[in-house]
Structure 1
């Protein structure tokens, strides 16, 4: 642990998101033991992932962003508000142009610019879209610790990485299982599933480095990551978890995911 604590914030963020990537790979590996998972279970897992992301957006990102802006007095909400909106707008733009396909959607409903890529690639890109703000959030959290903000703690950053890692398990399965169902080999399904999280270490390094270089941007960066995550939850994760007729179970999964992330953040942060 001492070795990890003595690393630079950028390296800490990189290693933390290697962990989250690894958990995604672990989730994708379920195809080696089962050809299929019931839609009920997948919907519950997606709901759980959404709950973790919602809780992380507040406890690990927005609340610290507001606390870091105390010096602005009555206007301390401004950095968080601006960053939150910009994060959602950024993900909306990516969503508009990045070719992707939602889980269980037919190829004809692919979004983004038109392409002849097959549905497997488009599904991976959809989950990759989810993972951009997750990696960014972890990177910014470790960057906040590195620049010495009192409201940022190494425990809180680790809690965020753990929470993101936990919810990455169902995301990995949510890619590999449908691909296996479509007829891809177990190995290819696994490769595609774990590849969806490769963007997380990249986004984490960018987020941590940006914060270390430009400390005043930190409250905006934290809120930016929160806005991007909430956009993903509302636009994709929750609707997908409710689409197969198991909405009540998915909702309870969301509640449990929120509680788990909240507990991690409060206990470790």
Structure 2
């Protein structure tokens, strides 16, 4: 099929519907397992962190630098500015959006009476925002005509994000089951955490399609937001248990898988 005739925004939507589907597939593990072995969970969280770190450089920061050079801009300016803005943006959302990290007893953000289960879902939803934005910007970049943006690279990013969404879906739904929710409710709450990705993707793709000048900044912005999530949440949670070596190996494998996808396909 020739994808060139499709609008990049539509492609971004399709790409993140795929990542949402894999989140739902992972959430479906709650129908098979009632408990999630902590060693497995740490490895899964580490894998997700590795994928996001690799995607931040290979799929976002590196193309941002190349595009800036092609536009005649000082190459490091969009990369640095956008990266920091992405981190600051996620920090602001983190400060105000009520959520609860997986192994924490104290909610963050504004005070709320929301149930613990909802706060757990909101925590995962929070870091799905930059993932959807990253995929959206990658597909939106196809409209720029820049040689550093290509369909295979955008697809590779969507595949990588989807792969790490599968364990994330399980990491949400199975603990919710342990909180006392039914299997169906645990599944529904787990998969709905991925619904924000298509929304963020359409917004990101639309912005860069209609405002091409912000593209290098948008790519690095998504990278900064993703790295914030990795350092703020994924790595600390994966290293909080007794299986730190498993978490570290998971991160290495996740990084290698995403790097392979991006370099081989992109």
Task: Work out whether the TM-score is over 0.5.
Answer: yes
Query: Which shifted more, 156-165 or 241-250?
Result: 241-250
* Equivalent in 207, 221, 224 of residue 221 of structure 2: 224
Q: Hey, what does 2:119 align to over in structure 1?
A: 122
Deviates more, 1:189-198 or 1:66-75: 66-75
Alignment of 1:12-51 (within 5 A): 12-51=11-50
SS in structure 2 at match of 1:100: coil
**In structure 2, what is the Cα distance between the partners aligned to 1:239 and 1:157?**
29
1:234 matched residue in structure 2: 231
Distance across 2 between alignment mates of 1:258 and 1:234:
15
In the TM superposition, residue 146 of structure 1 has moved relative to its aligned partner by 1.9
Partner of 2:240: 243
Aligned partner of 1:266 in structure 2 is 263
Q: Is residue 2:258 matched to residue 1:253? A: no
Contact 1:84–1:223 at 8 Å: present in 2 too?
yes
Aligned residue pairs, count: 266
> 1:59 & 1:72 partners in 2: Cα distance?
19
- TM-score, with structure 1 as normaliser: 0.97
Deviation >6 Å, runs of 4+: none
Alignment partner of 1:186 out of 183, 187, 190:
183
Shift of 1:74: 8.6
Displacement of 1:75 in angstroms is 2.8
Partner of 1:170: 167
Q: What secondary structure, in the 3-state scheme, does the structure 2 residue paired with 1:68 have?
A: helix
For residues 91-149 of structure 1, the C-alpha deviation after alignment (integer angstroms, 9 at most, x for no partner) is 0000000000001222xx10000000001100000000110000000000001012211
Q: Distance in 2 between matches of 1:56 and 1:6?
A: 26
With the length of structure 2 as denominator, give the TM-score of the two structures: 0.98
Measured in 1, the distance between the counterparts of 2:116 and 2:109 equals: 13
In 1, the alpha carbon distance for the partners of 2:73 and 2:133 equals 28
Give the distance between the partners of 2:200 and 2:221, measured in 1 at CA: 13
- Contact 1:104–1:178 at 8 Å: present in 2 too? no
Structure 1 residue ranges without an equivalent (≥5)? none
Q: Determine the structure 1 residue equivalent to 2:58.
A: 59
The alpha-carbon distance between structure 1 residues 74 and 152, as it changes in their structure 2 partners (threshold 3 A), is closer
How many Å apart are 1:252 and its aligned residue? 0.2
Q: Work out the CA distance in 2 between the residues paired with 1:236 and 1:90.
A: 15
Matched-pair contact (CA < 8 Å) for 1:10–1:142: yes
Alpha-carbon distance in structure 1 between the residues aligned to 2:147 and 2:155: 16
The alpha-carbon distance between structure 1 residues 242 and 74, as it changes in their structure 2 partners (threshold 3 A), is same
Distance of 1:230 and 1:70 partners within structure 2: 23
Deviations 1:22-77 (A, max 9, x none): 00000000000111110110110000000000000000000000001115779310
Change (3 A) 1:153 1:244: same
Q: Over the residues paired in the alignment, what is the CA RMSD in angstroms?
A: 1.1
